[in-house]
Amino acid sequence: MDEELEPLFDEDAIRNKMQELADRISRDYAGSDLVIVCVLKAAAFFAADLARSLAVPSRIAFVCASSYGASTSAVTEVEIRKDIEIDISGKHVLLVDTIADSGRTLAALTARYAQRGPASIRSAVLLDKRSRRTADLRLNYVGFEIPDLFVVGYGMDFAEKYRNLPYIAVLPSSDTEGEGNRPGT
Ligand code: IMP
Ligand code: MG
């Protein structure tokens, strides 16, 4: 383990919470087909684990999105580097990200995909830094609510490092100083 990282959630804690969310989602979507939209890159691992734990049929699509601009602004602008290819009209859509921070990424994606006529659109995150929310976003499935910490691992990076850690850890705040608005994928 990287010695400057402080573990927050180990693999068991992540797996148990992920399964709990998968069970709730499976109950809520029983009898319907689901399109999981994985918000790259951070959600790559969580969405893959979640999709494999669901008891309902699902398809998986990937969007590569990055929020930018001042995180205090209420403007929900995100850059879409790669969009989903699946036609979601009439489909139940579940946006999946590992973490919600300002909420701008998921708020913008919700607005974007709502225009394509889905049957429903909801969002799921493993971690919620609710105290940092600036966007108007209602999350439907939340694993853990966490304080304003910068976390890495299980898909989440700092300068593209640490995504592949199987656990979630806190990066000391001195390491993230100067990072500005912390835009991310
Ligand atoms: P939001 O649009 O501000 O909610 O930001 C969401 C994105 O920012 C997530 O998909 C992550 O990629 C990134 N992000 C937010 N907080 C963290 C963190 O603590 N560590 C790593 N990435 C983060
Ligand atoms: Mg990032």
pLDDT one-digit tens code per residue, 11-35 = 999 999 999 999 999 999 999 989 9
Give the tokens for residue 152.
């890495």
Neighbours of ion ligand 2 (CB under 5 A): 157, 184
DSSP secondary structure string for all residues of 117-148: --SEEEEEEEEE-GGG--S----SEEEEE--S
75, 99, 131, 171: which to mutate for ligand 1, most atoms within 8 A of CB?
A: 99
Residue 68 has pLDDT above 60, yes or no: yes
The one-letter code for the residue type at 120 is: S
Residue 131 has pLDDT above 80, yes or no: yes
Place of tokens 């398809």: 59
Q: Report the C-alpha gap between 96 and 101 in whole angstroms.
A: 14
Which fold, 10-146? Rossmann fold (3.40.50)
pLDDT band at 162; cut points 50, 70, 90: very high
